[in-house]
Amino acid sequence: MESSRPVCPAKTLYTTKVEDTQLENRVYDLQWFQNRAFASLKKIDNGVWDFSDSVLLYTPDAEKKYETIQQTDNAYYQEVTRPERDYLKKVASDIAESLPDKFEYIDLGPGTEHKEQFFFDELKKQNKDFIYKPVDINERFLRMATEYADKQGLPVAPLLSPFEELPVRLDGFDNMRFVSLGLTYANYSPGEILPLLKSIAANKGQVFIDVQIRDRINLKVITDIYSRNVYTISEPKLKLLG
């Protein structure tokens, strides 16, 4: 797909025009995650604390553990990721058709599986003009998504950021935003994530949430998988508390 927008060069990776200079200079290193971990703790009863902030699952130390569960011979991949890919392949054409000729593609948490490719393919077929903006708090995953799109000649403007900072961080744009969020949606309460998605999409935007998985997975199998892997997945998060 041809576009008048230049591909974001590697040397400007993770830069963006923002209104808040404190956000502009923020570094999301291990210290940032540790500070957020302690700030996120909420006492809900005597001896019982809420430590459910899902952003803390994506520390630099958690990268390999996350990639391990996404391997194709892994039960999680077979039960969750593969059916999700099949579903996206099925609906991508209709979603692309519903979008205007020019827009921003805000990909919240692209991860490592490149599921955005299903949209890329259909958007190219339909000659849509878009700039791809992957958003992730993990620098490695964000770089993977950026390089993957860049190799296809797509205009890319990556953003290293937690989702809640996006309404301030995103550049002004005259055309609409297509905001895509996968199963990460389930890490939030609806009352928290839905208003945030509305703010990110802005007035002209559309939001696609790929979270309805009950019709395509075996919930008992998934429960067993999480039960077996809960410590492995949560260990880097728990280490933030010392």
Domains and CATH numbers, the chain: 19-239 (3.40.50.150)
Cα-based angle 219, 221, 226 (whole degrees, multiple of 5): 90
C-beta separation of 137 from 58 below 8 A:
yes
* pLDDT string in tens for the chain (242-residue length): 333 333 333 333 333 333 343 445 678 888 999 999 999 999 999 999 988 888 888 887 777 666 665 565 677 777 778 888 888 999 999 999 999 999 999 999 987 778 899 999 999 999 999 999 999 998 888 999 999 999 999 999 999 999 999 998 886 666 789 999 988 887 888 899 999 999 999 888 999 998 766 676 777 777 777 777 677 777 888 889 87
Question: What Cα–Cα distance (Å) separates residue 87 from each residue in 17, 80, 182, 185, 214?
Answer: 35, 11, 12, 17, 12
CA distance 5 to 130: 9
User: 182: closest CA among 113, 93, 98, 99?
Assistant: 113
The DSSP letter of residue 61 is: G
Amino acid 172: pLDDT: 67
CA distance 5 to 67: 32
Q: For residue 69, count CB atoms less than 10 angstroms from its CB and return exposed for 0-12, middle for 13-18, buried for 19 or more.
A: middle
Amino acid 173: pLDDT: 63
User: 28: closest CA among 161, 134, 159?
Assistant: 161
Q: How many CB atoms lie within 10 A of CB 148?
A: 19
Amino acid 70: pLDDT: 58
Cα-based angle 106, 111, 117 (whole degrees, multiple of 5): 65
Amino acid 195: pLDDT: 94
Amino acid 69: pLDDT: 59
